Structure 1
Amino acid sequence: MPIKIPDQLPATDVLRTENIFVMSETRASTQGIRPLKVLILNLMPKKIETETQFLRLLSNSPLQVDIELLRIDDRPSKNTPEEHLNEFYRQFELVRHRNFDGLIITGAPLGLVQFEDVVYWDHLQQIMKWAKEHVTSTLYVCWAAQAGLKLLYNLPKQTREEKLSGVYVHENLQPYHPLLRGFDDTFLAPHSRYADFAPGYLETHTDLDILATSDVAGVYLASTKDKRNVFVTGHPEYDALTLHNEYIRDLGAGLEPVMPVNYYPNDDVDNPPRASWRSHGHLLFANWLNYCVYQQTPYDLEHFSEDKFTKDD
């Protein structure tokens, strides 16, 4: 089944050229199917690029998914046309009275900023608290994972001395966990962050299921036992050239970034990188939609109740 997105969203044409089944709102309105309602809170500066990346991963499922895009506030964007935001994005006040099957909170370029210095920190906390009572499962990605750990477990910000950038090998620690069904024993995933997610620290200070780790990158995937909160510390949504574009951007800004690890063939920036993480990225999102959202959510979202998630599966 397809994802359902607004007819004129720029991602529509991109995904159709990739033979991804995208259903317009017009056609979807004629079907008698209860689609999953998934909200994406897009915190990244280049919102069109990011929304396309996440929509691509959400499309790899037999489930019909109805996507809505959420912006954190109404401040002008330097990287996304205001008309695009006004047409395709909603303010939180317009959705706060509703329930959703899933919520994705993207990363944000705030790795060296303290939580209390983030201009929208209070609003973000409000949305994450709202999700506890209005969303079946929330997926926190990269910086959002650090923010979610602060909210749910009051963990202070853990920051690496040097930015983690590259593609790293991860070990599948719980191959029978629903989120890792179909995963290889080891797999690749990209990271781009200053946040530090040490396995021992999370094991000591949380009750999370630690699902996948890297000797270098630390925890990659973790989940609460009821699967209502899933933390992905890397960027499975990244395109092949995303790390390259970030590296060139930082070089141009005079930041002297370290070349992304295990990314350029022969560590030569002139060699075009290839996406080596794509299959596991698609599988992770398909598993999340199926096992954490579809299998858990009520058929009638109006009857959403936090009580149904109090027992372990």
Structure 2
Amino acid sequence: MPIKIIEGLPVRTKLQQEQVYTIEASRAISQDIRPLKILILNLMPLKETTELQLLRLLGNSPLQIDVEFLHMSTHKSRNTPTSHLQKFYKTYNEVKDDYFDGMIVTGAPVEKLNFEQVGYIDELKNITDWAQTHVFSRFYICWGAQFALNHYYNIEKLTLSEKLFGVFDYQNIKPEHPYIRGFDDIYQVPQSRHTKINYEVLNDIPELEVLTFNKNFGPDIITSKNQRDLFIFGHLEYDRETLKKEYDRDAENGVDTAVPFNYYPDDNPESNPKFQWRSHGHLLFNNWLNETYQNTLYDLRKLDELK
């Protein structure tokens, strides 16, 4: 099934070139299908890049997906034109009376700030609290995951001695779990962050379950026991060259950044990066969509009755 998008979304051309099936709203309404409604809260500065990465993964599903994008009304984007946000995004006030099967909260380049120093933190708390009764399944990525774990479980964010930057091995410790069904025993995931959570406290939080782990860096994928919240600190949605662009940008700006670990053949930045995580990215997103589809309510208005 195709992914339903707003008419004119610029990344549709690229998706079509990659054989990712899309359908515009005017065509979708003629089909007698209950699509899976997904809301994407895009906190990244380069919003079109993130749109493409996420839609590429969501579109590789047999389900029809109805996607809406959300942005923060209390933050002015410096990297995305206002016209793009006005045409393709909504604000909280525009969706607060609606219900969704799933919501994705992306990362954001604010991890060096304390949570309360983030300018839109109150709006973000309001949105994620609203999602507890208006969204069946929530999927938090990178800083979004750190924020949610802090907001709901008081898990602290800790600063690393040096940036975790590259592609790292993580162990699948719960292979029977539906969110990582099909994962290898060891999988690789891009990481790009200066912080980690205090994962030592996870044993004291029975509502959470660690699915994948690295002995040096802690967990990568965590879920709530009721499977309605999924947290990932890595970036399985990244393209082949995402880390390269970040490394090149830092080099151009005079930032002393190490070559991304296990990314370039022979650690040579002049060579083509290895794309080692793509299949697991598709697996994770497909598993999340499938579990959401299998367990969500047909009448989403009854979500606030769930405990």
How would you bin the TM-score normalised by the shorter chain?
over 0.9
Q: Name the SS of the counterpart of 1:85 in structure 2.
A: helix
Query: For each residue in 1:255-310, what CA deviation from the matched residue of structure 2 results, as whole angstroms up to 9, or x when unmatched?
Result: 2012110001100000110211000001100000111x112211111222342xx4
Residue 222 (structure 1) shift: 0.5
Residue 200 (structure 1) shift: 3.0
TM-score, reference length from structure 2: 0.97
| 191-200 vs 105-114, which moves further | 191-200
* Alignment correspondent of 1:301: 300
Q: Distance in 2 between matches of 1:305 and 1:147?
A: 23
Residue 277 in structure 1 maps to residue 277 in structure 2 = yes
Residue 67 in structure 1 maps to residue 67 in structure 2 = yes
Query: For each residue in 1:4-24, what CA deviation from the matched residue of structure 2 results, as whole angstroms up to 9, or x when unmatched?
Result: 011211121111000111111
- Of all paired residues, the percent bearing the same amino acid is 46
* Alignment correspondent of 1:217: 217
| 203-212 vs 130-139, which moves further | 203-212
Residue 76 (structure 1) shift: 3.3
Cα contact 1:203–1:210 (8 A) shared by 2: no
* Alignment correspondent of 1:41: 41
Q: Which runs of 5+ in 1 are unaligned?
A: none
Q: Which runs of 5+ in 2 are unaligned?
A: none
* Alignment correspondent of 1:252: 252
Residue correspondence of structure 1 range 114-133 to structure 2 within 5 A = 114-133=114-133
| 245-254 vs 86-95, which moves further | 245-254
Corresponding letter in the other structure for 1:48: E
* Alignment correspondent of 2:30: 30
Corresponding letter in the other structure for 2:232: V
Q: Name the SS of the counterpart of 1:269 in structure 2.
A: coil
Corresponding letter in the other structure for 2:280: H
Q: Distance in 1 between matches of 2:211 and 2:119?
A: 32
Number of positions where the alignment pairs a residue of Structure 1 with one of Structure 2: 307
* Alignment correspondent of 1:187: 187
Q: Name the SS of the counterpart of 1:195 in structure 2.
A: strand
Q: Distance in 2 between matches of 1:22 and 1:217?
A: 37
Residue 2 (structure 1) shift: 1.2
Corresponding letter in the other structure for 2:37: K
Residue 201 in structure 1 maps to residue 208 in structure 2 = no
Corresponding letter in the other structure for 2:153: Y
RMSD of aligned C-alpha atoms?
Answer: 1.3
Residue 217 (structure 1) shift: 3.2
Query: For each residue in 1:38-66, what CA deviation from the matched residue of structure 2 results, as whole angstroms up to 9, or x when unmatched?
Result: 00000000000011100111112111110
Query: For each residue in 1:69-100, what CA deviation from the matched residue of structure 2 results, as whole angstroms up to 9, or x when unmatched?
Result: 00012543221111111100001111011111
Q: Name the SS of the counterpart of 2:256 in structure 1.
A: coil
| 161-170 vs 198-207, which moves further | 198-207
Q: Name the SS of the counterpart of 1:262 in structure 2.
A: coil
Corresponding letter in the other structure for 2:20: I
> Where has structure 1 moved over 6 Å in runs of 4 or more?
none
